[in-house]
Structure 1
């Protein structure tokens, strides 16, 4: 299945995430939504994000999820074309604070990572956009 997903991420303390030589992101404690897509195997991509060990860091989100005190607490998906990824990022940008240029190096979006004031607001935003919740594997 191909589609778009949203990871609900909890950062339990302020931290800096270095994603490459030129980019360093400062994040405050709280809930974040990360929007991504998979055009071949959505299930495999999601399982990759749910796994914390023995994986190479290819994307910004890999660096964030590898940091201490960071965990995926919920996830949502929608069967859709890749273009839905950017439409979702634009929609969530009206409901939360973007972390500028995070996760959007291959498009013109402002960000694909957004800081929400609460988990319930993040969940409601995803459901209103037609995303379905995913049951997370035990971690």
Structure 2
């Protein structure tokens, strides 16, 4: 299944992490949403995000490698890749974001957002993914 997804991530404490080319970033304890796409298989991409043993390739890999980061839920939608950026742009107008995170291949300001209200995902037609990892 191809489409877009949003990872709802909990950080259990304030941390500083080296995030690839972005350098060291300070993250506050709380909930974050990462917007991504998988044009081959959402299931395989999401399974990769849950894996702790992987080569760090994307910015999100660095964040999820922290023992203080945990994926709480995955929302998804069958959609084209361009909708990934449409959702990221809408979130950037409503939520705080981590500048430059996850958007090295597009013109978005970020693909990682601090979540204040989880109900926001239903506005985008995203469904909760049932995952064997949760």
Question: Same-fold call, TM > 0.5?
Answer: yes
Once the two structures are superposed, the pairs formed by residues 25-64 of structure 1 within 5 Å of their partners are 25-52=25-52, 54-64=53-63
Deviations 1:9-67 (CA, angstroms, capped at 9, x unpaired)? 00010111212255222110000000000111111001111122x21111000000001
The two structures have a TM-score, normalised by structure 1, of: 0.91
Residues in 2 aligned to 1:116 and 1:41: alpha-carbon distance in whole angstroms: 26
RMSD: 1.3
Cross-structure match for 1:99? 98
Partner residue in 2 for 1:116:
115
Taking structure 1 as reference, are residues 22 and 91 closer, same or farther at Cα in structure 2, changes over 3 Å only? Answer: closer
Runs of 4 or more, structure 1, over 2 Å off, are none
* TM-score under structure 2 length normalisation: 0.94
Work out the CA distance in 1 between the residues paired with 2:56 and 2:84.
21
CA deviation map 1:69-100 (0-9, x unaligned): 11000110000110011001011112210110
Number of the residue aligned with 2:24: 24
Assess, with a 3 A threshold, how the Cα gap between structure 1 residues 15 and 41 changes in structure 2: closer, same or farther. Answer: same
> Is the contact between residue 12 and residue 30 of structure 1 (CA under 8 Å) also seen in structure 2?
yes
Structure 2 unmatched runs, 5+: none
Instruction: Indicate conservation of the 8 Å contact 1:95/1:125, yes or no.
Output: no
